[in-house]
């Protein structure tokens, strides 16, 4: 049995390899598995998109396909950018532009009024066609200005109140421990181990 993680993102591959290491299962990227499918992420929820990605190739014996979908949900923006996080303000707009727009729309708001969360849904397609999902969040607030060099995407503007810093100011190890993706991945690992134990 092997795991194929349906992503082209090397950062995500590092995370899943680290978390799945103790299962002994080989973890391959799409590329390593020879898959070059163009996947249309046309779902309207994180769960829908994660399931679309995990199911793109179809169930195969000896392979568990795993995929995730994630994004930033800002309460004062009615949940935007949400599932459209990477496309917010246009696919080609840099994170300086995307973050600038969020800061502009939250001008005048303070504390809890700036509440936001990163969300992640992890989906797995098993050889028998069964689909399972795991969902987790990382709660925080939109900072007043960006800070930090770690992480990626919206991390420099995501303030973690209990740490007093943004998620771009904590180490990758610490972020894996508390992040939406780290938590959803660890839950998915348990789902996979339970599935394999029962086969």
DSSP H/E element including 2: strand 2-5
- How far, in Å, CA of 145 to CA of 107, rounded? 11
The pair phi, psi for residue 157, each rounded to 5°, is: -110, 5
Strand-pair partners of 169: none
- How far, in Å, CA of 41 to CA of 38, rounded? 9
Using CB under 6 A as the criterion, what x/- string covers residues 175-194 for binding ligand IMP?
----x---------------
Looking at 40, 69, 75, 128, which residue is catalytic?
Answer: 69
Active site residue 69: yes
141 interacts with ligand IMP by CB under 6 A: no
Residues 25, 28, 29, 34: what is their CA dihedral angle, to the nearest 10 degrees? Answer: -150
Where does this chain touch ligand IMP (CB under 6 A) — which range of 19-27, 32-40, 151-159, 184-192? 151-159
- Positions in 49-68 near ligand IMP (CB under 6 A): 68
Using CB under 6 A as the criterion, what x/- string covers residues 80-99 for binding ligand IMP?
-----xx-------------
133 interacts with ligand IMP by CB under 6 A: no
Active-site residues: which are they? 69
């Amino acid at each position: 049995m092997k795991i194929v993680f349906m992503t082209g993102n090397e950062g995500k591959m590092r995370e899943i390899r680290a978390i799945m290491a103790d299962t002994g299962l080989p973890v391959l990227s799409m590329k390593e598995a020879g898959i070059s499918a163009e996947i249309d992420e046309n779902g309207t929820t994180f769960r829908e998109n994660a399931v679309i990605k995990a199911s793109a190739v179809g169930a195969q014996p000896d392979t568990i396909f795993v995929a995730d979908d994630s994004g930033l949900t800002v309460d004062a923006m009615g949940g935007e950018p949400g599932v459209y996080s990477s496309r917010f303000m246009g696919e080609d707009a840099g994170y300086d532009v995307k973050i600038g727009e969020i800061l502009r729309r939250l001008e005048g708001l303070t504390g809890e009024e700036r509440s936001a969360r990163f969300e992640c849904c992890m989906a797995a397609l098993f050889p028998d066609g069964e689909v399972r999902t795991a969902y987790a969040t990382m709660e925080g607030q939109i900072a007043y200005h960006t800070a930090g060099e770690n992480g990626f995407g919206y991390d420099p503007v995501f303030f973690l109140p209990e740490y007093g810093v943004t998620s771009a100011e904590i180490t990758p190890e610490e972020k894996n421990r508390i992040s939406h993706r780290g938590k959803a991945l660890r839950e998915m690992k348990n789902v996979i181990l339970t599935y394999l134990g029962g086969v």
